[in-house]
Homo-oligomer: A and B are copies of this chain.
Amino acid sequence: MKKILSAAVVFLSLNLFGQTKEDSIQFSRISTEILNKGKSYNELRDLTKNIGHRLSGSEAYEKSVKWAEQKLKEAGADKVWLQEVMIPVWERGKESLKIKAQNGKWKTLKMLSLGNSEGTKGKDVSGEIIMVKSLAEYDKLSPEQVKDKIVFFNYPFSQSYVQTFKAYSDAAVYRSTAAALTAKKGGKFAIVRSLSSAFDDVPHTGAMRYGDSDKIPAVSIGNTTADELELLLKSQKITAKLNSNCGMKGEKLSHSVIGEITGNKDKSVIVVGGHLDSWDVGEGAHDDGAGIVQSIEVLRTFKNLGIKNNHTIRVVCFANEENGVKGGQQYGKTVKENNEKHLFALESDAGGFSPRGIALEMDDDKIKQITSWSPLFLPYGAYDFDGRYSGTDIYPLKDMGIPTAELVPDSQRYFDIHHTEEDTFEKVNRRELLLGATIMTQMIYMIDKNW
């Protein structure tokens, strides 16, 4: 049945869009080039091992700006430049979280302050922990019950979703709003169970926001610590004590890095990119060093194979995705100001895992056209074009009506290591990373040729 229908798709696409054989040959050239000669894996080793994590505002981030500029030049970009971006600066500093039962001793827990959280300014802040399993449960608590307490939002990352991004979306509200909710009822600080698919004790950081609430701290603990705390709280009162120095340190001028190969037919722009910044733990390998080196691989492959691009293909290494999206916003603003025609934007920001497809956010006719190409992608393991979303950094472009897309890698391992010390180069597989770059290059080739 499937074979018959696949054949039907090929037949239709042959008729509707033609030149399937030529495209199939080009797809194969792209794949062979990247799987054999791709440099993105070695570039990722360089970025992660010689620069490491690179939070917006850090010295390491500024190093990565110079690094990306250099790599884009080496890849053969006709033009490379830095785009000025004002970014928020958040710093972690020293931090510790301890708990103790009545008459017990203080025990230190593994933890990470959430990104953008204010700390305790080096002072001890302590109080009794109360635990809730859900927002609904928290809503039922009166301000009297929460006042001066530490609220432990113990909502589990669901294992039931096949696509782990769904579990992440489901639980993300706890990370982003725990502090604000706690503050509104007079609590002292919030603890959240990490957004983690792994049964380990690795805490995951990530962005939180206050809205109009008081700026009390929010910290994250790993799954096994959360399990232990949950068990303790069933039988006794537990006091927690936080001492942390994190907080916002104003704004700073920084940069996104942009490189392009000029269009041979016109100067309409096709964007491919990822974000250059990372959280301040681990090495930012999957998130999103992978997306950066894959995007540069796209440009290099066009150059190395001598594919004459009709339109300008532009790699954007966005600044500040993790805690502000200021790079993406500035890029969108600049496009609008300069009235630069953009045809398409593709982001890779879901890890350097084996690709399964590309999510598409655009009008139905364009989706129909792109999905008609799917038989070409199938031999490369990409079959899923059903996602209707795209990358965070290119949302400003989407809001301007530009068709946007995001690489869909296999999601099973991502939330084991996302925003943690464990997001290191060693967790990235060479062939998986290169195959992602292959799919991206093939898609950019099709868009460039047909749009």
Q: Chain A: residues with CB nearer than 8 A to chain B?
A: 1-3, 5, 8-9, 12-13, 31-32, 35-36, 159-160, 162, 164, 197-199, 354, 356, 368, 371-372, 374, 379-381, 383-386, 410, 412-413, 416, 429-432, 435
Contacts and interface: CB of A to CB of B under 8 A. Distances in A.
B31 A1 contact: no
Contacts of A1: 9, 12-13, 368, 371-372, 374
A198 B345 CA distance: 33
Given A199-B430, A416-B429, A5 B3 contact: no
Contacts of A410: 354, 381, 410
Contacts of A9: 1-2, 5
Contacts of A380: 162
Count of this chain's copies in the oligomeric assembly: 2
A410 B8 CA distance: 26
7 contacts: A1-B12, A1-B13, A3-B371, A199-B430, A356-B381, A383-B383, A412-B429
Given A413-B431, A429-B412, A429-B413, A35 B159 contact: yes
B198 A430 contact: yes
Interface of A is mostly: helix
Per CB-CB distance, the 7 closest pairs between chain A and chain B, nearest first, are A2-B371, A1-B372, A412-B431, A1-B371, A35-B159, A412-B432, A383-B383
A31 B385 contact: no
A115 to B, nearest CB: 25
Chain B CB within 10 Å, residue with most, of A380, A385, A429: A429
B432 A160 contact: no
B431 A159 contact: yes
Contacts of A162: 31, 35, 379-381, 435
Contacts of A432: 412-413
Nearest to A372: B1
